[in-house]
Structure 1
Amino acid sequence: MPTPVRIGVVGCGSVMQRPYTSQINQLKVRELVETVVACDVRTEHREKLLGPGFGYQRFTTDFEEVVSADDVDVVLVTTSMQEHAMITKAALEAGKHVLVEKPMGTTLEEAAEIVELAKKSPGHLVPAPHVILSPTYQKMWRHIQRGDIGQPYLARAFYGWAGPSWGQWFYRKGGGSMFDLGVYNVVSLTGFLGPAKRVTGLVGTAVPERMVEGEMMKVEADDNAHICIEFANSCYAVVTTGFTIQRYRTPAIEIYGSEGTIQMMGDDWDPDGYELWQNEVGAWKVFDESAPNWPWADGINHLVECIIEGKTPIITPAHAYHVIEIMEAARAAGKDGQRRDINSTFTPATFWESEDEAVAAHLRHDTSSE
């Protein structure tokens, strides 16, 4: 039995209390982790976090007590976006493993500092989102890399909703719909298609005032965006995202190639299978979701596995930095209309070693092509 990985968490809101705690509790049952210390500025969480549903050994309001604790191996950062970089840097400087919710920094300068610290730190850094860990993402990746849709030419990604009525920080400087929502799509597209070359975008604030936590507030961050991305070989993609979308029924991701199309159903953080059109087949292959219970907080499972087995995480700081550069470039383009070169790059994760693709699919003929 391996030595349990000792977890300290900073930021104990709904993201920590529900999706991450669900995964951590399953790891506890397997005796792979211990929950050591929880930190939150809201002291009303203390009793709950020390209780049986969470089982932390102690509670603090000072994150420095978490990152400096000798009995903590992993720091889970699930605060508001604006605090991510500060806490992540402190944890890396203390030599801890870190999982930080998206984005790892709200400026390119913060992200660059974190990448450099991660190179020097003995701890792993796993930045969210964790969409590339989903079995559906990995199956689609293999289809694309095998050439099942030919050469990718165009892509479209989509994620949005009406926006939260809690947490004013979503709408403050450093927040916004790109960092909260569009980031999932940008990670997925760059994972599928590789590093971006150039970016432009239409990014703005459609709703200048919102009712949040019972009071009207001025919105300082973007809530409405089209991010236009140029990849290699004249492949273009657009991400549509915003706190401006009431409902939708479109696929999360669509990639159009010279010989076919592949599309992810559901959302990329909550996939519901995928569909594949190949000209040589002449019908849609519909693949039902193979992992309907896949959790979008799966990064904590991946990080714990890597620590215990001595492996390197496939989610990398370089990829997260590249994604932040894309979103920052889109935001700048929204102000002056200028296209921007993307200077960073990364090595996309590969999934050739994963399960065989011989899974059941049913055919749906597209009468519009007849």
Structure 2
Amino acid sequence: MSTTSPSPLRVALIGHAFMGRVHSHAWRTAPRFFELPVAPELTVLVGRDAERSAAAARQLGWAESATDWRQVIARDDIDVVDICTPGDSHADIAEAALRAGKHVLVEKPMANTVAEAERMAVAAREAAGRGVRAMVGFTYRRTPALQLAQKLIRTGRIGTVRQVRAQYLQDWLSDSTSPLTWRLDKNRAGSGALGDIGAHLIDMTCFLTGEQFAGVSGALQTFVPQRPVAEAPGSPLGPVTVDDAVQAMGTLTGGAPVVLEASRAAWGRKNALRIEVTGSTGAIAFDFEDMNVLQVFDPNAQTEEITGFTRVQVTEPTHPYLNAWWPPGHGLGYEHGFTHQVVDFVESIHSGTQPTPSFDDGLHVQRVLDAVQRSAAEASRYTPITTSSQEQ
């Protein structure tokens, strides 16, 4: 058990579906494996339906439940608001929470539009002056192998970045009979594969290289334009208003080209988040379906008989976050990244430092998503990424 401050960090979680369940696990787990400076307390879970929210609170370990997020944000006994709702509500909840002096963690993508993300970023900058912190939940950053990859790239182990190739493939929408969900509704989700999983590729590229996107061109495809509104046989069909797949090309501010692909209709791929960064003196490659491994290519280590990438098992206690977990070789899973996210967020709140990714980082991702959408709609070859005068 950790040694913690007697004053807990009281958390309100808004949303209790897939992401809410994972975040709940992380809030419960973090203080039991890491020496946190202050203990998070699972104070209240918020959902739309009172009965379902109460049941989820009991199952997931929250002290109580509620149905009105506005009332919860106004409470004096809440310090942190964790937003795990569909994207159409992120801006309103985050702005209200920051104005109320609550620290905010919001799931990616940060918003559904650039305008919403800009509002959120402004609110976060203003709140930071009052000591209130805000962070976007791009959790894959907290995978130890990707933390190691960032260290190798940022310290020059692969030289100057020349190329980035990133791909995120899932297959849960491959079957045309799979029913509609809110993730297939543009009004709720903002976009499809582009924002849902493509956002991770954009953030990961920025995280690893330390650069932003200068511009992009892209194409979107919707393979199944109508789907059953329910799983029952003979269910009527409803429209799919987002993309199933996206392909994009871009350049980073340092000039390196980037190729991105995301699809939720790639048979046989469950969660294949892959990235390869090639530099002037080496390369790294990663695939989340083998998440405890980083592939490293060092040209100086090649011989006539032994060539190619070296497979590095990232499970040593010297690797990021690993000294709190299991002996070497005992791999981590998907849920551990969320625990690491809580650890970093709590430590930033306690130390008064800006956690990353910040809302400004999330805003840049939103601008790239928007540029891809505009490029696809206009069939243009290249769409620059612009910033506001406040950020220049």
The verdict on a shared fold, with TM-score over 0.5 as the criterion, is: yes
1:332 alignment partner in structure 2: 374
Q: What amino acid is the match of 2:219?
A: L
Per-residue deviation, residues 123-176 of structure 1 (Å, max 9, x unmatched): 211112122233211211122123322222111111121236577210111141
Per-residue Cα deviation, 1:217-246 (whole angstroms, up to 9, x for no partner): 211012210121201343111111022212
Distance 1:28 1:264 in 2: 29
**Local SS of the residue matching 1:312:** coil
Q: In the TM superposition, what are the counterparts of 1:220-239 in structure 2 within 5 Å?
A: 220-239=241-260
Alignment partner, residue 321 of structure 1: 363
- Residues of 1 paired with 2:350 and 2:214: CA distance? 37
The answer for the alignment partner of 1:36 in structure 2 is 43
Q: Which amino acid aligns with 1:92?
A: L
Q: Does the 8 Å CA contact 2:104/2:135 hold for their aligned counterparts? A: yes
Which residue number corresponds to residue 143 of structure 1?
A: 152
TM-score computed with the length of structure 1 as normaliser:
0.85
CA distance in 2, matches of 1:206, 1:50: 38
Q: Distance in 2 between matches of 1:166 and 1:16?
A: 22
Q: Which runs of 5 or more structure 2 residues have no equivalent in the other structure?
A: 316-321, 323-330
Q: Deviations over 1:283-336 (max 9, x none)?
A: 322101325326232322221222234333132111111111011100111111
Per mean C-alpha deviation after superposition, the further-off stretch among 221-230 and 139-148 is: 139-148
Aligned-residue offset at 1:251? 6.8
Matched, 1:302 2:344: yes
Question: Counterparts of 2:374 and 2:78 in 1: how far apart (Å)?
Answer: 39
Name the Cα RMSD after superposition: 2.2
Pairing 1:243–2:249 present: no
Residues 179-218 of structure 1 mapped to structure 2, 5 A cutoff: 179-193=195-209, 194-211=211-228, 213-214=230-231, 215=235, 216-218=237-239
Identity of aligned residues (%): 23
**Deviations for 1:37-85, whole angstroms, at most 9, x for unmatched residues?**
111012232332442x434333221110121111000001001122112
Tell whether 2:12 aligns with 1:22.
Answer: no
Aligned mates of 1:29, 1:142 — CA distance in 2:
27
Query: In the alignment, what sits opposite 1:350?
Result: none
- TM-score, normalised to structure 2, is 0.81
Deviation per CA, 1:86-125, whole angstroms, max 9, x where unpaired?
A: 2111111211101111111110000000000001113211
CA contact (8 A) 1:251 1:263 kept: no
- The CA deviation at 1:254 is 0.6
- Equivalenced residue count is 341
Please name the residue that 2:164 is paired with: 155
Check conservation: 2:24, 2:61, Cα contact below 8 A.
no
Is 2:332 aligned against 1:293? yes
Moved over 6 A (4+): none
Return the letter of the residue paired with 1:328. Answer: D
Instruction: Judge which range, 65-74 or 284-293, deviates more.
Output: 284-293
> Relative to 1, partners in 2 of residues 1:81 and 1:167: Cα closer, same or farther, differing over 3 Å?
farther
Summarize the Cα distance change of 1:54–1:234 in structure 2 as closer, same or farther, 3 Å threshold. Answer: closer
Task: State how far apart, in whole Å, the 2-side matches of 1:272 and 1:157 are.
Answer: 18
CA distance in 2, matches of 1:309, 1:197: 33
Unaligned runs of 5+ in 1: 346-370
Give, in whole Å, the separation in 2 of the partners of 1:15 and 1:233: 34
Structure 2 equivalent of residue 169 of structure 1? 182
Tell me the equivalent position of 1:275: 295
Aligned partner of 1:342 in structure 2 is: 385
Q: How far is 1:24 from its partner?
A: 1.3
